[in-house]
Structure 1
Amino acid sequence: MAKGLALARSFYLSGHRVIGADFEDRGSPCPGRYSRSLSVFYSLPKTDSDESTETYVHRLIEITKTENADIWVSCSGVANAIQDARAKESIEQHTSCMCIQFGVETTSVLHNKGSFMEECKDRGLPVPETHEVKSKHDILRVLSVSKISTPERRFILKPIGLDDINRGNMTLLPLPLEEDTKLYISRLPISASNPWILQQFIPGREEYCTHSLVVRGEVKCFVACPSAELLMHYKPLPSNSPLWQAMYAFTVEFVQRSPNPEDMTGHLSFDFMASEGTASYCGTEKNIYAIECNPRAHTAVVLFAQRGPEMEAMVDAYITTVERRQEGLKKSFAEGKGSQTGTQRLIVPPANTKPRYWIGHDLVSLFIHPMMLWCFGHISFSRVLSDTLEFSHHLRMWKEGTFEVWDPFPALFLYHVYWPIVILSAWWNEKHWSRVNVSTTKMFTC
C-alpha cells in the first residue's frame, strides 16, 4: 500500500537497508516489490484462518532472522490488525528485532469500535453517544429512550466488523415514520454474533483523520488532515490550527491515560468528527469527537515522504526503538528536528508539504465519470468544467501519492498492470464491486 511504500522509501533515503514483505494475489504481484528502496522482497501467506495465521507469523520470524532485521515496521491493513499484533509478540519473543506494532490486547481493544468507545469514556475523552447493539430490539430501545431525553438527536448504524456493503451507509435514525425505521432495521444483518454500533450523528459532517507514531508512550510524529468516507486526497492541517491542536492533545491524553503507556509502541490513528459548539475541547472553537481508532499506520503518513530534515527526523524516531535499547539516541533526533511541543520535540510534515492525490482515481472521478454523466444529460457542463479544473489543479500543484521520478516502477506497475489485472479478474469471475481505493489497493465488494 502507499503507506508502506512511503515508509520504505523514507528509510532508504535516510541510509537504511529495507526489506519489503506483503501479501500477493495470484497473478497480480504487489506493485511495491519493484521499488528501488527495497533490497529484497518477500511474498507472505495470507491470514484467512488460524492455521494460516500461524504460518504467516512463522514466515515473518524466519525473514527477520534471515535478514537480521533490527526493526519491523508493521503496515497492517484493516483485515490484518490482530494477526500483526500476534506476529509482534512472537517476533519480539524469538528474535532481537523490535516491532512498531501494538500487542494483541491493545490492538484488540482499539480495533473494535465498541470497546474503543468504552476506553475513551473511561479516560474522560470526548466521544459521541455510542451503543453496541445485537438485535432490532436493542436499536429500537435506544431510539425510544433518546426520543424522550434528546428528541433532536439522530443516530447512525455502523458495522463493527468488515462490511464493504454497509460501511458507507449514512442513513440517519430514527426515520420520520416509525414503521419506516423498523423496516430499515429489519433489512440489516445485525445479530448477537454480528453486533453493530448505534452512534450519535454529529451535525456539520466535518471529518478528520490523524496518524501518529508512538514509542514507549511518547507521541513522536503526528499529522492531521480533513477526511472522508473514501479518502483519496490528503492535505495536512497546519499545526497552529485549533483543530490540529485539539486532535494532537486528544492523542497525547489517550496514550498518557492508558494503563501502561510505557508499553505502547506502534502506529495510532484516530478518526474525528467536529461540530460547532459554544463548549470546546482544548480551546478549539469546535467540539471534536473521536469516532474510530485505527491501531495501525494511516495513509496520511505519505505527507512525511518528502526529502528533508522532517523525513529524516521521522525515520530517526523509529530508530529510537532500537537505539534506546542499545543505550543511545541518534544525535539528530536528540538535537530535535521538528516542532517543539511540551517537553518533547514533535515531528510534523514540513510547512511546504504538497497535498497528495492519486492520478488513477482523479482521472476517473474528476474527468471520465463527469464527462460520461454530462453526455447522458445527468449533470451540467459547468459541473464538468469545475471537476476538470480541479483535476488540472491537482496535476499542477499537488503531488502524486505513489509516483517518484527516482523510483517510478511501483506507480507504473500499479496503474498499467496491477489494477487492470484486478478489474479484469473481477469481471471474469463475476465478482461485483462498487469502487476501489487506489492507494490501499482495496476493492470494495457489493
Structure 2
Amino acid sequence: MQKSLYIARALARQGWRVVVVEEHGWGLLSPARFSRFVDAFHLVPSGGGKHYVDALVAIAEAEKAELFVPCSGAGTTHEDALAADKMRRQRTSAKSSDGFRAVIQDPELVLELHEKDKFITLTRSYSLDAPESILVDSPQELLKLLRLPKQPPRILKCAAELDDVGRSDLTLYPLRNKAGAPDFKATERRISSLPIPISKQTPYIAQEFIGGGRTTEWCTHSTIDEQGNVLAFVCCPSNDMLMTYHPLPSNHPLGQRALAWTREFMRRVKKDAKWQGRAIQGHYSFDFIHQPDADAGEGEQGAEYWNNGRLVAIECNPRVHTAVGLLAENPKFGSVYDLDVGRSKEQPALIEPLPRAKPMSWLAHDVPARLLPHLVPRFLRKLVHPLWLTSREAGSSSSQVVAGGGSHFDLAAPGERDAAWDQEDPLPFVVFYHVTWPYLVLRQVLVRRRAWSRINVSTARIFEC
C-alpha cells in the first residue's frame, strides 16, 4: 500500500531502521520491498487470524522492534491491534515497555470504531452529531421499520462485513413508485436479494440519509498520542472512492471545524471510564458530511456557510488513511512517531500539510479512468467493462466541491503530482506501475478468477463482485 511507504520514508528520514511487513499473495511484489528507505522486508500469512498475529509478534521480537506502526487495510486492523497488545504485554513482562511504542488502539476500541453501528452509537453517546441509525438483522425487521410514520429516507450499509458492491450504493428506502408513494413490494424484493443478505450473521444499518443538493463529503486523517492529543491532521474533500487528494488549507473553517470535532471526540474518549488504562493512541480517519443550513444562500461560500449547518460523522477507520501522503511532504511528519511522544503534559505542535502541498493522484488511475475515456468510444469501453466510465459519466455527486475563498476542488480531474513518486526513492514508482499492478491484475484473472467492478490503485485493492 502507498500509505505504508509514506510512513516508512518519514521514519527513515528520522533515523529509524525500517522493517516492512506485508501479506503473502498480493503483498509479494509490494513496492516497499524495493525502497531504499526500507532495511528489511517480511511476508506474513494473509487474511488475518492467529497465524497472522503470531507472525507479526515473532518478527517484532526477532527484529527487536521499538516501534510498531500498522498501515493495514480494513480486513486486518483488529488483528494488528491484537498483535500490538501482545507486544505491549511482552515488553511489560520483560520490564522494557518504556522503550516500545505501538501506534494503534486497544483491540476493543478498534472494534468500537471500525464497526459502523458501534461507532455511531459511541459518537451519539458523546453528544456528537452522527446519522440516526438502526441495526436490523432481517428483511422483515427492516420493512417494519420503514413502515413506521415520519421515518426519514434511509440507506443501507452492511455492519459486519466488507461490502465491495454495496459501499457506493445510495439507494433510498423505501423505494417509491412513479407517483412518489412508498412501494413496499418493490422494496421487499430488493432487500431480499442483496449480495450480502440481511441476517443475524450479517446485520445492516438502516441509516438516515443526509441529503440536499449542496451536501459535501470530507475525509480526515489524525495521528493521536497516548494523552488523546492530535499530533497530525489533514482534511480533504471526498467521495465514495477518492482518487484525487486535495489538501484543505489549514485556515479553512470546515477543516478547523473537523479538527475541533476530532479533539472533542478524543477528549470524550479519554474521559470515558470504559477506556481508562487502555491504549487510545493510534490513527483515526473520520469521514464527515457537511449539510448546509436550508436558508444558506447560493453562490460563493464564506466562513459563515461552513461554520453553520450540520457536520455529521458517518464513519471512523481506525487506521492510516491514504491522505497521509499529503502530510508526508512535511519534514516534521516523522516526529509524531518518536518514542517519547505523548509523555509530556505540554500540548504538542500540530503537523499539517505544507502550504505548498499539491493535490495528488495516481497515473495508473488517471490514464484509464480520466484520459482514455475521452479517446475510446463509449460502446468499446462498455464492451471491455460495463463500468468503464469517467467520473462525470458515472454521475459522481461529489466530483465538484466549491469550498469558498476561491478554493475549487475537482475530484474527477488528475492531481498536480503522482502520489507514488518520490525523487529520493524512484524505484518503488517503477515497480508499482510496471510490476505490482500487472501482477495483481494477472493474479485476479488467472488465480482468483472472480469478477470485479473497480480498482483502487492507491490501496492495491480490487473490488470483487
State the TM-score, normalized to the length of structure 2: 0.82
Inter-partner Cα distance in structure 2 for 1:399 and 1:436: 20
1:33 deviates by: 0.9
The structure-2 alpha-carbon separation of the partners of 1:70 and 1:154, relative to structure 1 and needing over 3 Å to count, comes to: same
Contact 1:207–1:273 under 8 Å retained in 2: yes
1:251 corresponding residue in structure 2 = 262
2:179 corresponding residue in structure 1 = none
Contact 1:211–1:269 under 8 Å retained in 2: yes
1:323 to 2:340 alignment: yes
Inter-partner Cα distance in structure 2 for 1:273 and 1:408: 37
Q: One-letter code of the match for 1:243?
A: L
Gaps of 5+ in 1: 335-342
Within 5 Å, give how 1:289-304 maps onto structure 2: 289-304=312-327
Contact 2:292–2:305 under 8 Å retained in 1: no
1:213 corresponding residue in structure 2 = 223
Q: One-letter code of the match for 2:207?
A: Q
Deviations 1:399-437, CA, capped at 9 Å, x for gaps: 211121221121211111121122122222432111111
The structure-2 alpha-carbon separation of the partners of 1:141 and 1:428, relative to structure 1 and needing over 3 Å to count, comes to: same
1:122 corresponding residue in structure 2 = 125
1:43 deviates by: 1.2
1:431 to 2:450 alignment: yes
The structure-2 alpha-carbon separation of the partners of 1:278 and 1:73, relative to structure 1 and needing over 3 Å to count, comes to: same
Inter-partner Cα distance in structure 2 for 1:157 and 1:17: 45
Within 5 Å, give how 1:64-75 maps onto structure 2: 64-75=60-71
Indicate the structure with greater helix content.
Answer: 1
Match of 2:80 among 72, 81, 84: 84
1:193 to 2:216 alignment: no
Contact 1:279–1:286 under 8 Å retained in 2: no
1:229 deviates by: 0.9
Inter-partner Cα distance in structure 1 for 2:171 and 2:6: 36
Contact 1:243–1:286 under 8 Å retained in 2: no
1:272 corresponding residue in structure 2 = 288
1:311 corresponding residue in structure 2 = 331
Within 5 Å, give how 1:14-413 maps onto structure 2: 14-25=14-25, 28-48=28-48, 53-95=49-91, 96=97, 97-145=100-148, 148-150=149-151, 153-160=152-159, 161-176=161-176, 177-188=183-194, 189-204=197-212, 205-216=215-226, 217-258=228-269, 259=272, 260=275, 263-277=279-293, 284-306=307-329, 310-312=330-332, 314-319=333-338, 322-323=339-340, 344-374=348-378, 394=414, 398-413=416-431
1:419 to 2:437 alignment: yes
1:324 deviates by: 5.3
The secondary structure found in structure 1 opposite 2:244 is coil
Inter-partner Cα distance in structure 2 for 1:392 and 1:380: 11
1:234 deviates by: 0.7
Contact 1:362–1:391 under 8 Å retained in 2: no
State the TM-score, normalized to the length of structure 1: 0.85
1:339 corresponding residue in structure 2 = none
The structure-2 alpha-carbon separation of the partners of 1:373 and 1:178, relative to structure 1 and needing over 3 Å to count, comes to: farther
Give the fraction of aligned pairs with identical amino acids, expressed as a percent: 34
The secondary structure found in structure 2 opposite 1:354 is coil
Inter-partner Cα distance in structure 2 for 1:393 and 1:125: 34
Deviations 1:205-255, CA, capped at 9 Å, x for gaps: 411110000101111111110111111111111122221122111111111
Inter-partner Cα distance in structure 1 for 2:26 and 2:118: 36
Q: How many residues align?
A: 412
